[in-house]
A and B are shown apart, each in its own frame.
Chain A
Amino acid sequence: GNSVTQMEGPVTLSEEAFLTINCTYTATGYPSLFWYVQYPGEGLQLLLKATKADDKGSNKGFEATYRKETTSFHLEKGSVQVSDSAVYFCALRSNTDKLIFGTGTRLQVFP
């Protein structure tokens, strides 16, 4: 079946450090892939997306590349800020049009 696996958190970084949050998936067909972010006390917001192999999604300095050969969609940012502290969810849209989420990775950035 379809599933998404994320690295466990929390990920703790100093401001301006490089961020990578790993995400791998299992799916039939060619799913669309997403990263959502959840700030404390809020709902999820779409951060970026990619719809086919080799697509790169980007937004607010975050990037993720759809790698079909490794079934991965790792989230990266070159220089994190305290305001990036949040929970990040990787998700895929299945061939039945449902979103399948990973368990989420908490990022904590300290000054």
Chain B
Amino acid sequence: DAGITQSPRHKVTETGTPVTLRCHQTENHRYMYWYRQDPGHGLRLIHYSYGVKDTDKGEVSDGYSVSRSKTEDFLLTLESATSSQTSVYFCAISEVRTGGLYEQFFGPGTRLTVL
């Protein structure tokens, strides 16, 4: 199994509060991703990183920011949580493989509820 952990695994917070989710990897993979999973939408990419301090926006980035100061950690911050950000958040990592094909390995997820 890929060494990916997410913390916290569950969180309940109130509207307007800041929230930070952490993804930690032990694989030294270059690429890291944050997705949210919602019924009827599958997984949607929020932000991704292709190296330390190199990040970019995904499909649903509004209301989220990220930081990557070390290879192993990728933080997702909700500056002011809203109820629409209630979701399950997944971190993923990947690396280039032989022939250019790469796979994404997923963490166990964080269930966030915003009241």
Chain B associates with chain A: yes
Chain B residue contacts of A102, Cβ below 8 A:
42
Hey, what's the 0/1 contact readout for A68-99 against B, CB within 8 Å counting as 1?
A: 00000000000000000000010000000111
Give the docked Cα–Cα distance between A48 and B77 (Å).
Answer: 32
**Residues of A in contact, count (CB < 8 Å):** 20
Tell whether, in the assembled complex, residue A51 and residue B42 are in contact, meaning their CB atoms are under 8 Å apart.
no
Interface hits, B56-115 → A, CB 8 Å: 58, 90, 92, 101-109
Chain A: CB-nearest residue to B40: A103
* A17 adjacent to chain B (CB < 8 Å): no
Q: Min CB distance, B66 to chain A, in Å?
A: 15
Tell whether, in the assembled complex, residue A89 and residue B45 are in contact, meaning their CB atoms are under 8 Å apart.
no
Q: Min CB distance, A86 to chain B, in Å?
A: 14
Give the docked Cα–Cα distance between A49 and B4 (Å).
Answer: 21
* A32 adjacent to chain B (CB < 8 Å): yes
Most chain B CB inside 10 Å of its own CB: which residue of A44, A97, A101:
A44
Tell whether, in the assembled complex, residue A45 and residue B106 are in contact, meaning their CB atoms are under 8 Å apart.
yes
Chain B residue contacts of A51, Cβ below 8 A:
101
Closest 9 CB pairs of A and B: A43-B106, A101-B42, A103-B42, A44-B106, A101-B43, A43-B108, A104-B42, A46-B103, A43-B107
5 additional A-B pairs beyond A49-B103, A98-B48, beta carbons within 8 Å, are A34-B103, A46-B103, A46-B104, A89-B43, A103-B40
A-B contact pairs, 29 of them (CB 8 A): A4-B42, A32-B101, A36-B106, A41-B108, A42-B109, A43-B90, A43-B107, A43-B108, A43-B109, A44-B90, A44-B106, A46-B103, A46-B104, A46-B105, A49-B101, A49-B103, A51-B101, A89-B42, A89-B43, A97-B102, A98-B45, A98-B48, A99-B43, A99-B45, A101-B42, A101-B43, A103-B41, A103-B42, A104-B42
